[in-house]
């Protein structure tokens, strides 16, 4: 075997390549009261964003830039009537990097609070890529509430990390 090849192979072996952190994920949970048709929400971060509403019995979910990988709409507590526990709307996002500004709205003006729903956990952003998470935004009364959350790559994620003993070889 050619010695140059062996030296080049040894030089390449000295470098470690980490996979790029492509998908920064976030899990959004909204706790809606029984009167879910009064609610709407929007979250935007530059060219990324998503919004929700319930209209005429239909769930409406729009997205631009953020990739919605899954969503579910259930009673807040399994086996408990939505009239007292409210609804749980979960949205999973991928490639969600950014600083999101969130606006929660209630068209009736009583917040997302009814019976056992206090509105304090109206919107929660969680996941390992949510900075300082989980981040909760409450809508306990009134017509609207605002807040923000940030999704960022995990600390130390990089495209290429070189070990200190990496040696460049002459390709002659």
Q: pLDDT at residue 165 above 70? A: no
- At 16 the pLDDT is 37
- Check: CB of residue 136 under 8 Å from CB of residue 120: yes
- At 8 the pLDDT is 39
pLDDT single digits (tens) 52-83? 999 877 899 999 887 899 999 999 999 999 99
Residue 3's SS3 state is helix
Report the alpha-carbon angle 129-131-136, nearest 5. 105
Range of the domain at 62: 26-151
Q: Which of 163, 147, 169, 162 is nearest to 28 (CA)?
A: 147
Q: pLDDT at residue 33 above 70? A: yes
The percentage of the chain sitting over the pLDDT mark of 70, rounded to a whole number, equals: 76
Tell me whether residue 112 is in a domain: yes
Q: pLDDT at residue 109 above 90? A: yes
Tell me whether residue 143 is in a domain: yes
Which has more confidence, 28 or 48? Answer: 28
Q: How confident is the model at residue 168 (pLDDT cuts 50, 70, 90)?
A: very low
Give the chain's domain count. 1
In angstroms, the CA 145 to CA 137 distance is 8
Q: How far apart, in Å, are the Cα atoms of 15 and each of 166, 168, 169? A: 6, 10, 13
Strand 135-137 vs strand 39-45: parallel, antiparallel, or unpaired? unpaired
Tell me whether residue 119 is in a domain: yes
Tell me whether residue 16 is in a domain: no
Tell me whether residue 32 is in a domain: yes
Q: pLDDT at residue 131 above 80? A: yes
Tell me whether residue 37 is in a domain: yes
- At 39 the pLDDT is 94
pLDDT single digits (tens) 135-159? 999 999 999 999 999 999 866 554 4
Tell me whether residue 137 is in a domain: yes
Strand partners, 45: 48
- At 34 the pLDDT is 94
Strand 48-55 vs strand 87-94: parallel, antiparallel, or unpaired? unpaired
- Check: CB of residue 15 under 8 Å from CB of residue 166: yes
Tell me whether residue 168 is in a domain: no
């Amino acid at each position: 075997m050619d010695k140059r090849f062996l030296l080049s192979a040894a030089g390449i072996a000295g470098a470690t390549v980490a996979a790029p952190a492509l998908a920064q994920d976030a899990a959004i949970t909204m706790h809606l009261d029984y009167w879910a048709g009064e609610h709407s929400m929007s979250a935007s971060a530059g060219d990324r964003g998503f919004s929700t509403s319930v209209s005429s019995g239909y769930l409406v979910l729009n997205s631009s830039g953020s990739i919605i990988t899954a969503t579910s709409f259930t009673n807040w507590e399994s086996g408990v009537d939505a009239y007292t526990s409210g609804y749980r709307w979960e949205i999973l996002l991928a490639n969600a990097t950014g600083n999101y500004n969130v606006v929660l709205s209630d068209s009736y003006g009583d917040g997302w609070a009814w019976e056992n729903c206090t509105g304090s956990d109206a919107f929660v952003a969680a996941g390992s890529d949510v900075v300082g998470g989980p981040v909760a935004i409450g809508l306990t009364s009134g017509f609207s509430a605002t807040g923000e959350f940030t999704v960022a790559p995990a600390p130390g994620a990089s495209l290429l990390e070189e070990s200190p003993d990496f040696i460049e070889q002459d390709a002659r």
